[in-house]
Chains A and B, each alone.
Chain A
């Protein structure tokens, strides 16, 4: 009964979404309050039914009901409880159900907490949200139904892909989906604004928290996924420019641009049409990401062609939503009122520069990801666009962006003073030059670019701190007053400081890890000693162990430094019988922000084992950076004050202003 009720709840959710996508629009057209309010109750009811459906699927996985195809194919009665639960979204059907659940969650949140929105805007937003939801309910029910049954249930399931049997699966996909799907709200707001033909600073104030929330989750989701790949795949790499990763990076880049342009719009009523475009673009990239990951087109264009039902369906959704929203944009955007004016050198100007660089970076990732696919479809030739392409295109775009980051917050709204901002950044510049000199001296004869890159990172961090010092008048007025001012600063300002500093922190980690990474790869026998960086690692021996649904071979290493024992490390190799697959469980030893990393390879006939040992200096900074950024976002989100950008009044000789768009 649980399976069938869950199935029926999903069908009802589709019915409600269809009503929610039409009735409120009629209400808005004829200005009928009751009809517009239908959007609200149906959105909440939809959330209720989808949640019930999701809960039903979780229950089926937990109780190992193998009469459900989805459970049979992806679960196993011996799997630990946590992986029975996370296995729900470790497969195609379940993850699509999670996707619509989160979509319904956001719809429900707008319905529940959108009391400050004008009725017709809320009705429009929820109706657009319901269009997306209807499309995906249909997709799930018709092509990827998680509730299909087997009349003759088998006794045992086929188990989850062992790589996914990890705590990372519990956190990474839900986070990522909260981010992806969160941008659907800004999309719905944008389409609603186009339908209503009205857009102003108030619109940006209403949509900002949603953008920020989605951005925070996406940031954490990407960082989490990268760390997961780092410790689970056993290669010690943390970013592969893999299409799946790029699929999440593209909405992040566009979303970051959106975040900043929405800020300009809220504070200054400028960049309105551009913000709408970015909202549409960001969610379109989220949809594209879903298509890339879910249609199987990445495994092989041919695999996609042999079972094209899913792929074609998502492609259709993609065409309707992206094509439809861009056509609507092309049709309605010219009729929107132009926004405020500003000088090229101003806070607005800096944010436009940020937007240009971010969207260009996004475009290069887009090309690098889709070009190989297009080529394979057209000519059948298989090429792979790897790290070199991205390093050569992405880095030149990010260097000017990072250089500009500290300047932005120091410029005044409407008309800024570049020289003044530069003067205030002198300290940051000097600090970074000193750091470059020190690093260069310390690693004399080594990489040339690395000290410069670290200097850039330090400049970003110091620049963020300079901004803070400037605002509280540090060293210019008594310290006690400065402290009081710091407490009085809006949390949004602190958020900016943290987020920008996080960027620098992540860059330091990336540079150190890629430049000064040392490794040992070789065969080791019991009691062999390997030396990596300043550590000695002795292989004590190999033992076999039985896990709940796997057998593992555990190697024990004693780590010592200068003859002193530091720790024991136990990397292992697991063999999962049901799927006949094995995984490597790397052992990580954290020392400060640096890590020692051991992963095991194959055993040879003479009892020796292939071992890869890495010492990765300051590697953890790569993930602390995004966490800092997300924390900054959280601070800004918690600041419920309104944002006002006070313009710098024009001097006697007014400078030439130019239109925002």
Chain B
């Protein structure tokens, strides 16, 4: 509420800046003119001559020149005539300030700003969210310990995922490499290392990252993370068919309750493979036999049912995420965004749920 009050005050101040000069009946100061400058120059010549900088004949010549300019300038200002007021224009300007200024400000700010977000200064956050502080301390402690005994593989293995979560990808890469060197190679570590490498490249599967995923798959052919990212690498290279093949293979081999199923299914839809998000297996089987239109209407029906259910009971964070993801997959970004807003509202009272929701939305690529 305070924020809107501050905005209102600022807007009023800005409007006042425009209205103030318009409201004054006798404007102060009519400004300088060329005439003044030339008069001062004439005075300057006298001073220069008195102090001996220029001689009398030169001063005389200069005086003649400047007097000529002075006359011309005086003529000019006379021919222009006095300033006059124009009430109609002033009224227009005032209206522009009163209506246009708030309109421009509001239209820009409401599209670009995030008025619902408060400030998060670091000092404040570490006081409120106590959970973060021990984590930072802990990381520092472990890092200090590893500085002294850099061959402690277990230490590196513990530290690496934490660094990755903190967003310190460069350090995480180093930590994973050390963990692999000192605590032994494994498919999971290779896959994690690849993911950290992607982090350093801002989410792009680089050649280095891809090499790590391939090593992981060489050690354990059905390592889910490595396979998923190899598919992503194919997608980023523009080889959509390969990506779809990899992901389809994963889904075929995976157990029905694998937690990453929805993610892979969503990815598959993105590259134009089959499968709608988060459908029970039976429905998928049914959908396979349908025509394109039928399938779409079936999916739409399910999504609508989900939306109705969530309207009645909004506590289900997972459900909200599924809904947003479904809209995204169907290419209805507007609906996804409005569903996101609804979701935030629904779980706003519960800090823990809100955090989960935000985390999930970020993964969907809607935020951040």
List residues of A whose CB falls within 8 A of some B CB: 1-5, 7-9, 11-12, 14-16, 18-19, 23, 26-27, 30-35, 37-38, 40-42, 44-45, 48-49, 60, 63-67, 77, 115-122, 141, 145, 147-156, 158, 198, 200-202, 205-206, 269, 340, 471, 485, 488-490, 577-580, 641-642, 644-649
Contacts and interface: CB of A to CB of B under 8 A. Distances in A.
B14 A12 contact: yes
B112 interface: yes
A649 B57 contact: yes
B288 interface: no
A1 B119 contact: yes
A179 B104 CA distance: 31
A38 B18 contact: yes
Nearest to B44: A642
Contacts of A202: 34, 37-38, 73
A333 to B, nearest CB: 19
A-B complex: 8 closest residue pairs judged by Cβ atoms: A45-B17, A63-B121, A119-B31, A116-B32, A37-B21, A64-B122, A580-B170, A646-B58
B353 interface: no
Interface in B100-157: 100-101, 104-105, 108-109, 112-115, 117-125, 132, 135-136
A31 B105 CA distance: 29
Interface string B52-93: 111001111110011001001100100011011110011001
A11 B105 contact: yes
Contact of A141 (B76, B100, B108, B166): B108
19 contacts: A9-B10, A30-B86, A32-B83, A34-B27, A34-B85, A45-B13, A65-B121, A77-B122, A117-B32, A118-B31, A119-B30, A147-B113, A150-B367, A150-B368, A151-B114, A151-B361, A151-B368, A155-B135, A646-B48
B31 A5 contact: no
Interface in B4-19: 6-7, 10-11, 13-14, 17-18
Contacts of A153: 120, 125
A27 B89 contact: yes
A1 B118 contact: yes
Given A16-B101, A580-B170, A646-B48, 9 more contacts: A26-B93, A32-B89, A34-B22, A42-B18, A63-B123, A116-B37, A118-B33, A200-B69, A641-B44
Contact of B362 (A152, A158, A642, A644): A152
Contacts of A151: 114, 117, 358, 361-362, 367-368
> Which interface residue of A11, A577, A644 has the most chain B CB atoms within 10 A?
A644
A489 B86 contact: no
B171 interface: yes
> Which interface residue of B22, B36, B80, B132 has the most chain A CB atoms within 10 A?
B22
A34 B61 contact: no
Contacts of A15: 14, 100-101, 104-105
Given A115-B31, A641-B44, A65 B76 contact: no
Contacts of B32: 115-118
B354 to A, nearest CB: 10
B136 to A, nearest CB: 7
B238 interface: no
B62 A647 contact: yes
Contacts of B66: 644
B352 interface: no
B17 A16 contact: yes
B284 interface: no
Nearest to A52: B10
Nearest to A16: B14
A35 B136 contact: no
A272 to B, nearest CB: 12
Interface string B32-48: 11101110110011011
B62 A200 contact: no
Nearest to B97: A19
Contacts of A49: 10, 14
A397 to B, nearest CB: 33
Contact of B31 (A65, A117, A198, A201): A117
A37 B73 CA distance: 23
Interface of B: 2-3, 6-7, 10-11, 13-14, 17-18, 20-22, 24, 27, 29-34, 36-38, 40-41, 44-45, 47-48, 51-54, 57-62, 65-66, 69, 72-73, 76, 80-81, 83-86, 89-90, 93, 96-97, 100-101, 104-105, 108-109, 112-115, 117-125, 132, 135-136, 166-168, 170-171, 355, 358-359, 361-362, 367-368
Nearest to B34: A202
B112 A65 contact: no
A67 B117 contact: yes
B73 A7 contact: no
A278 B25 CA distance: 40
A410 to B, nearest CB: 15
A245 to B, nearest CB: 29
Given A45-B17, A115-B31, A202-B37, A646 B61 contact: yes
B118 to A, nearest CB: 7
> Which interface residue of A14, A15, A119, A147 has the most chain B CB atoms within 10 A?
A15
Contacts, number: 252
Nearest to B96: A19
A649 B61 contact: yes
Given A34-B24, A66-B122, A152-B359, A644 B37 contact: no
Contacts of B14: 12, 15-16, 45, 49
A4 B5 CA distance: 12
Nearest to B3: A1
Contact of A67 (B83, B100, B119): B119
A41 B105 contact: no
Given A31-B84, A580-B170, A8 B121 contact: no
Contacts of A34: 21-22, 24, 27, 85, 90
B12 to A, nearest CB: 11
B6 A33 contact: no
A198 B124 CA distance: 59
A489 B52 CA distance: 10
Contacts of A65: 119-122
B290 to A, nearest CB: 38
Contacts of A63: 119, 121-124
A4 B27 contact: no
Contacts of A18: 100, 104
A641 B37 CA distance: 11
A4 B117 contact: yes
Contacts of B120: 65-67, 153
Contacts of A200: 34, 69, 72-73
A441 B176 CA distance: 65
A116 B7 contact: no
Contacts of B171: 577-578, 580
A119 B76 CA distance: 15
B34 A11 contact: no
A5 B84 contact: no
Nearest to B361: A151
Contacts of A67: 117, 119-120
A648 to B, nearest CB: 7
A282 B362 CA distance: 46
Nearest to A650: B61
Contacts of A149: 114, 117
A269 B80 CA distance: 22
> Which interface residue of A35, A122, A340 has the most chain B CB atoms within 10 A?
A35
Contact of B104 (A3, A14, A154): A14
Contacts of A42: 17-18
Contacts of A9: 10
Given A19-B97, A34-B85, A7 B109 contact: yes
Contacts of A148: 112
B260 to A, nearest CB: 21
Nearest to A158: B167
Contacts of B33: 118
B359 A644 contact: no
Nearest to B359: A152
A204 B349 CA distance: 65
